[in-house]
Amino acid sequence: MKEYHGDQRTVKYILEDKAAHYGDKVFLQYKDIKVSYSEFNRIANAVGNSLSGLGVGKGDHLLVMLPNGPEILYSWFGAAKIGAVEVPVNFNLKGHTLLHVINDSRARHLIIHRQYLEKLAFIQDQTQYLATLIVLGDEGGEATSGMKYSVINFDRLLEGSTEAPEVTIKAGDPATIMYTSGTTGPPKGVIQPQAYAFSYARGAGRKGFVEEDDIYYSYLPLYHTAGKFVDVFATLLCGATIVLAEKFSPATYWSEASSYKATVAYALFAAAFLYRMPPTPGDAQNTVKRFLSVPLIPEINQFAERFGVEVWSAYGLSEGGSVFMGKVPQNLQDIRFAGKLRDDFEVRLADPDGYEVPVGKVGEVLQRPKEPYTTMLGYYNLPDKTVEAWSDLWLHTGDLAYRDEEGNYYFAGRVKENIRRRGENISPESIEREINLHPAVLESAAVAVPSEFGLAGENEILAVIVTKEGQQLKAEDLIAFLEPRLPYFMVPRYIKFVADLPRTPTEKVRRTALKDNWSEGEIWDLQKSGIKLKR
């Protein structure tokens, strides 16, 4: 993988350099569409020049609400060519959450697919800054009829000059504002500089996960850091080929990846669904060699053997980039494995006072880069939250981890999700890990619920459980399973069985929803059962 320095670490420079080097090599494939490096660069130029003609300039914000396909990449790189700040919008958003992103970004232009216009129409009277829609898939204009915005067809963006825009762009210039999932409040806009894409993607290249001859199969949405930087930009940086899929389908995942002769793949929150599919004699005959899975599943060792892949894991965040990555050791015992620390970051695992914890102890992940412009520039319009995130010269991630003697790091949950019970701080993931080992359990979530005594800082534990299809599980049997595996204070008092867990648009479990509605439905209470736990 070629190294870049200083202001070479911009999206514009790297694309132009790769186009000059790889020329007619296929960079992007989407269904039957193949786009070479040089052609992709020309299209990005055209889109950038067209956006300039519409009044989008360097530093201006551009909302992009598109599904996976060539156009979302043309929009991203076209904006980068002129130094505009792309604001990718999760297309699952609607109502007040969508309105918040649109208004908070203060963007005047939105590139949007026709299928999402109904969501926009519902809130259009409340949008404050948005003036122009660039619509994909509405050639007749019927879907935008009656809307208050100026409307332009997306195809007009492709008609611009294919000459490179003459805009000076620096590595520290804002490139993207990516909104968080909003698990603890309204989504926050994370301002990512130009060099952020390079830094995030470089981890995959330098660790050896992506190489020049690889074909990378990706279904991940490009409003997410994983799909955007670990998949697409890592492919660009390594000179490989990206195959963009519309969506994830466990039934066709391996056959579709193999139809493109894909050698690398990344599954976010999807390994469990793939493993649940009925085994076939050809499972290990797919073409994928390296498979990045976040998170790992309890059956990850069997997964690797069944599908014939080398499994990798990683840890990263929108604010701080990709920090840990590595191959999953054979016969892994702790599925919280996240890899080893990259050499271009510093990390401290700290206690609540900021002091480093010893090896084997859980602490908050504090990180800082060794090179400039590799973490966020701040939260947009939220200087107080930015200051809060950066303290004592460290970025406080809010994530928990521990490390072993070999320098491997293990993700251990979220600081704010920790449960305080019987004077002990408990990571929900520690409980979930043991629950998920039960053969009847598909997935689970452990959350803190109020203690009946109303003591400050004291909680009870609720375990919300989804069983595997066709499986039955009694709460008493689960407690018997957990008792030898967990300290008494970690065994859930309350157990609730549900059909599925509520999730954010990026597929994270919405623990706040579980807490807010915890007493609804049938709840099993350990204390009322008469079962006495051994200490």
Q: What is the CATH number of the domain that holds 430?
A: 3.30.300.30
Give residue-wise pLDDT tens across range 481-529.
998 888 778 899 999 999 999 988 767 888 888 988 888 889 999 999 9
pLDDT score at 359? 97
- CA 16 to CA 73: how far, in whole Å? 15
Do 120 and 114 form a contact (C-beta atoms < 8 A)? no
Tell me: pLDDT of 41 over 80. yes
25 Cα distance to chain centroid: 28
Tell me: pLDDT of 183 over 60. no
Tell me: pLDDT of 418 over 80. no
pLDDT score at 455? 46
Dihedral over Cα of 9, 15, 21, 22: its sign: positive
Give residue-wise pLDDT tens across range 300-335.
999 999 999 999 999 999 999 999 999 999 999 898
Do 304 and 328 form a contact (C-beta atoms < 8 A)? yes
Region 149-156 average pLDDT: 96
Do 422 and 486 form a contact (C-beta atoms < 8 A)? no
Mean pLDDT score of the chain, rounded to an integer? 92
Residue with structure tokens 């959350």? 447
Query: Is 292 inside a domain boundary?
Result: no
| Count of structural domains within the chain | 2
Query: Is 152 inside a domain boundary?
Result: yes
Which residue, among 59, 75, 268, has the nearest Cα to 173 in the 3D structure?
59
Residue at a domain's end among 150, 165, 190: 190
Query: Is 252 inside a domain boundary?
Result: no
**Residue 31 Ramachandran class (φ > 0 left, ψ -120 to 50 alpha, else beta):** left
Query: Is 115 inside a domain boundary?
Result: yes
> Residue 32 — pLDDT band, cuts 50, 70, 90?
very high
pLDDT score at 485? 82
> Residue 456 — pLDDT band, cuts 50, 70, 90?
very low
Tell me: pLDDT of 155 over 70. yes
Query: Is 337 inside a domain boundary?
Result: no
pLDDT score at 425? 63
Tell me: pLDDT of 176 over 50. yes
Domain that holds residue 464: 418-529
77 Cα distance to chain centroid: 20
Tokens, residue 452: 């009946």
Q: Beta-carbon neighbour count of residue 125 at 10 Å? A: 7
Do 31 and 69 form a contact (C-beta atoms < 8 A)? no
pLDDT score at 451? 77
- CA 380 to CA 59: how far, in whole Å? 13
List, in sequence order, every residue forming a beta bridge with 426; answer none if it has no partner: 419
Give residue-wise pLDDT tens across range 488-499.
788 999 999 999
Which residue, among 478, 484, 441, has the nearest Cα to 461 in the 3D structure?
478
Do 369 and 395 form a contact (C-beta atoms < 8 A)? no
Query: Is 330 inside a domain boundary?
Result: no
Q: Beta-carbon neighbour count of residue 208 at 10 Å? A: 14
Give residue-wise pLDDT tens across range 250-307.
999 999 999 999 999 999 878 988 999 999 999 999 999 999 999 898 899 999 999 9
Q: What is the dihedral of CA 371, 372, 377, 378, to 10 degrees?
A: 40
pLDDT score at 423? 56
Query: What is the Cα Rg of the chain in Å?
Result: 24
Residue at a domain's end among 190, 211, 231: 190
Query: Is 279 inside a domain boundary?
Result: no
Strands 394-403 and 363-369: antiparallel
Q: Beta-carbon neighbour count of residue 209 at 10 Å? A: 24
pLDDT score at 185? 54
Tell me: pLDDT of 346 over 50. yes
Residue at a domain's end among 130, 159, 190: 190
Do 349 and 360 form a contact (C-beta atoms < 8 A)? no
The contacts of residue 257 (CB under 8 Å, 6+ apart) are 217, 243, 265, 286, 287, 288
pLDDT score at 422? 66
First-to-final CA distance of the chain: 54
E-strand stretches of 66-139: 85-88, 109-113, 132-136
Greatest alpha-carbon span in the chain: 76
Region 23-37 average pLDDT: 98
Tokens, residue 4: 């870049």
**Residue 15 Ramachandran class (φ > 0 left, ψ -120 to 50 alpha, else beta):** alpha
Query: Is 354 inside a domain boundary?
Result: no
DSSP secondary structure letter of residue 220: -
What CATH number is given to the structural domain containing 172?
3.40.50.980
74 Cα distance to chain centroid: 21
List, in sequence order, every residue forming a beta bridge with 327; answer none if it has no partner: 312
